[in-house]
A and B are shown apart, each in its own frame.
Chain A
């Protein structure tokens, strides 16, 4: 369970990216966060695994009291939370398998990491994660030699290899073309349903959001402006969230048609 309690984030320089947020997300939910760029989507997601510290308020993630965690506590929290990135964040110069094994680091002793000798059990977990996103045959390919969609699947496998309770995805399809985007979103949805993993996805395409979300959360200027089931969000709702009328850029299908 994730619970924000009057949480705020103000960056050095005065930008307020989260204002007095109250929000509760239950286990196993598939939540999509929408909002313009700069609305605080990335901040919200990164607050959950402590990459961005709160400047005020409280945040409970499972049994972790996030604002009061020391370094060790942060690592324990992060081991339970997998993350998927817009730019994939893979190490290009190493193999797909090595990238996925990064998800096992919280379990692997540092000396084994230093000599790159991972326990067989961890390699098996990494292989299963790759199998789930159907890319196991590329395990020994260098990450540079993959297409965008394949790279994001490796990104998902890396998060899965953590055997996480929560998966955070920050604009996971923003660098992908529409068909590939749907493939990636389907994997995320399927993983969430089958493994019961709470999944929080930032998106800026509204049609993708309504197509996949159990619950949509709208952010505007760091404030929660909408919270409801995916089916309840229509064009008026999105106009409220975006603070302007919608354009072709806001939906992937229309943008692709251009």
Chain B
């Protein structure tokens, strides 16, 4: 290396380096950004949203918020509320268990690994897409109309809701498993069912258990709302106080429910962390 180039290199180290020209933001991103802004403003105008109204309405003395400040503690522990809480938990446990058990074979049959036949697989996937498109509250409403007011409707709603969640998550997990053990099981002369049980299920079991717990959390929260359409559980009790305008008791129940969900969720999250 000549002295000259060495000197140049030295100088170059201190000079600001010239970057290539900065790429322009893509046209598509600009259009999407402007579109999002436009629809937000349009929607706000349509629903006549105004921050002023929001504040004045919320700060005006109203019975609902008065109830929040004078929460009734005795309703939290009344025997009727306790019964409703127990029913909510039972709904969540039963709905989750039933949904989880049925979801495993359905998830297997909805994937190429478990079901080599294209047409039945597509049918199963489409049915599951339809089930998933219906929100839990709508399921509950449908079953209340179909089988009547009460916990059975709630149970059925949670069952279908669980199926939708579990089949989707499990099928996605199945798509990413190691195919090696499957080949080994086939080479050992296993039947299709044996292969699924020994080579596939052990691979997804911890993820599946984790999804089941997550599904239980979802169902517990959903079961509170289900009562609003008459599908049993604590929601029916909440609805009762709402209709009578007994806001202090309503808020007491809401707080209690919050505590139950919080505790269950903490436990579930810590178990799930250990599973994965």
Contact = CB atoms under 8 A, between A and B. Distances in A.
A168 B262 CA distance: 55
Contacts of B206: 93
Interface stretch (A84-92, A123-131, A182-190, A238-246): A84-92
A146 to B, nearest CB: 15
A162 B194 contact: no
Contact of A105 (B180, B190, B202, B205): B190
Interface string B191-209: 1011101110011011000
A113 B193 CA distance: 9
Interface string B161-187: 000000000000000001011011111
Contacts of B181: 89-91, 102
A158 B193 contact: no
Given A113-B197, A158-B184, A93 B202 contact: yes
A162 B188 contact: yes
Interface residues of B, number: 22
A91 B198 contact: yes
B189 interface: yes
A234 to B, nearest CB: 34
A88 B180 contact: yes
Contacts of B203: 91-93
B202 A102 contact: no
A106 B188 contact: yes
A116 B201 CA distance: 12
A106 B181 CA distance: 16
Interface string A97-126: 010011101101010011010000000000
Q: Interface centre among B188, B190, B191, B198, by most A CB within 10 Å?
A: B188
Given A89-B181, A90-B181, A93-B203, A83 B187 contact: yes
Interface residues of A, number: 33
A151 to B, nearest CB: 11
B180 A106 contact: no
Contacts of A108: 194
B190 A106 contact: yes
Nearest to B184: A89
Contacts of A74: 189
B198 A98 contact: yes
Interface string B65-77: 0000000000000
A110 B197 CA distance: 9
A83 B181 CA distance: 12
A81 B198 contact: no
A181 to B, nearest CB: 20
Given A78-B189, A93-B203, A106-B190, A114 B184 contact: no
Interface of B: 178, 180-181, 183-191, 193-195, 197-199, 202-203, 205-206
10 contacts: A78-B187, A78-B188, A79-B188, A85-B183, A91-B203, A93-B202, A98-B202, A105-B195, A113-B193, A162-B189
